[in-house]
């Protein structure tokens, strides 16, 4: 990954964006995409769309990632100055205690999620639900705490990006600002290749709380012939994952193409052929019931729109230390551009991705 692309990735991962509070990250994304898109638009809730205007007779493809991350929200300020919190999305109660956090008030406030010392605990206590946990910002009482924070402020882990060995990185919120990065980069590479297809790059909001942004975008972009949703998926190459139960997905082995459920068979074949033509290694993953991504919302939009889920292998999802291989991330961006180019070859078809039945 070159220096400019890595700087964009670093900026995205450094910018907090819990669901419902994505504005700052979306600004990073739109500033980048605005350098090469024909136009960039946003809607009332902050979904962002950049477009490459192609041949009017060629298909229109949207490549998407979601900008939001899991987190917490302040739900009460206690008399003794501690903060009670609730979940934003699928925050994991087993990793939250004892972590540094940032409360995103008018000015960021640093704190920690309290964890009783091992000396004072009675044996192997069960993990306490997030709603029973608390943030300590150092305030002496409620009045002092309210000078700095208020109910409804979002909270994220304070962990930053770290380079690991080789091409691998660890950070919080890789799910799914990495996918938003890939959508932006897929568009840039499609523009660079001057593909015939019209290509939308989309950074959606509120995926982690029910695919809300995708439902908005799926209605708004009523001229899209196909959606390709990029998200992370569980890598199964670390010791504590039952690979036999989940299926093999490895870091560094390339993008993951979903099969089944929302994944339209014509798009699956097109993506696999495009990857082969571009000499890109890909992996396959079964989705028997649902993908768990924005693709599930896109494909039922407007009576059925062909959709595909392309994934980035990710270890330790929904923790502060998610790990990916940046070579996989680059591969996803290349695959998106290749899919856009292949879609453009279907120019003139009235229904370019129809299933032959």
Of 207, 244, 250, 322, which residue is the catalytic one?
207
Is 207 considered catalytic here? yes
205-244 in b/e burial notation, b at 16+ Cβ within 10 A? bbbbbebbbbbbbbeebeebbbbbbbbbbbbbeeeeeeee
Give the DSSP letter string of 175-222. Answer: HHHHHHHHHHHHHHHHHHHT-SSEEEEEEES--TTTSHHHHHHHHH-T
* Nearest by Cα to 100 from 155, 161, 182, 168: 155
- Residue numbers in the known binding site for Zn(2+) are 66, 175, 208, 231, 318
Question: Which H or E run contains 75?
Answer: strand 71-77
Strand 168-171: give its sheet, edge to edge: 162-163, 168-171, 322-325
d(CA 217, CA 224): 10
Please tell me the distance from the alpha carbon of residue 211 to that of residue 31, in angstroms, as a whole number: 24
Considering Cα of 294, then 276, then 353, then 224, what sign does the dihedral take?
positive
End-to-end Cα separation, the chain, in angstroms: 42
**Largest separation between any pair of C-alpha atoms in the chain:** 71
The closest alpha carbon to 181, from 28, 285, 19, 284, belongs to 28
Are 130 and 85 in contact by the 8 Å Cβ rule? The answer is yes
Distance CA(74)–CA(325), nearest Å, equals 33
Residues 6+ apart with CB under 8 A from 132: none
Identify the three-state secondary structure at position 256: strand
Tokens (6 digits) for 221: 């972009």
Annotated catalytic residues are: 207
């Amino acid at each position: 990954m070159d220096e400019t692309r890595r700087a964009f990735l670093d900026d995205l991962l450094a910018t907090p964006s819990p669901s419902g509070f994505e504005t700052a990250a979306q600004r990073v994304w739109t500033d980048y995409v605005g350098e090469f898109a024909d136009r960039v638009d946003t809607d009332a809730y902050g979904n962002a769309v950049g477009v490459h205007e192609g041949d009017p007779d060629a298909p229109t493809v949207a490549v998407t990632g979601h900008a939001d991350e899991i987190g917490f929200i302040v739900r009460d300020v206690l008399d003794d100055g501690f903060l009670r919190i609730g979940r934003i999305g699928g925050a994991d109660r087993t990793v939250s205690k004892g972590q540094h956090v940032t409360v995103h008030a008018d000015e960021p406030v640093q704190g920690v999620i309290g964890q009783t010392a091992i000396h004072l605990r009675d044996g192997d206590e069960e993990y306490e639900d997030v709603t029973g946990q608390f943030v300590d910002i150092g305030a002496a009482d409620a009045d002092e705490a309210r000078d700095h924070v208020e109910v409804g402020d979002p909270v994220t882990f304070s962990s930053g990006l770290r380079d690991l060995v080789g091409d691998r990185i660890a950070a919080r919120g890789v799910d799914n600002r990495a996918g938003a990065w890939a959508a932006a980069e897929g568009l840039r590479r499609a523009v660079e290749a001057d593909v015939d297809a019209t290509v939308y790059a989309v950074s959606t909001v509120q995926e982690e709380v029910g695919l809300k942004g995708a439902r908005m975008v799926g209605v708004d972009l009523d001229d899209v012939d196909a959606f390709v949703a990029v998200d992370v998926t569980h890598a199964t190459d670390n010791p504590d994952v039952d690979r036999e139960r989940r299926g093999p997905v490895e870091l560094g082995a390339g993008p993951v193409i979903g099969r089944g459920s929302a994944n339209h068979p014509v798009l699956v074949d097109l993506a696999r052929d495009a990857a082969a033509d571009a000499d890109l290694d890909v992996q396959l993953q079964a989705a028997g019931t649902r993908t768990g991504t924005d693709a599930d919302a896109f494909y039922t939009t407007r009576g059925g729109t062909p959709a595909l889920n392309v994934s980035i292998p990710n270890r330790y999802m929904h923790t502060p230390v998610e790990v990916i291989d940046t070579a996989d991330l680059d591969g996803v961006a290349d695959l998106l551009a290749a899919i856009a180019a292949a879609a453009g070859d279907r120019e003139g078809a009235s229904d370019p991705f129809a299933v032959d039945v």
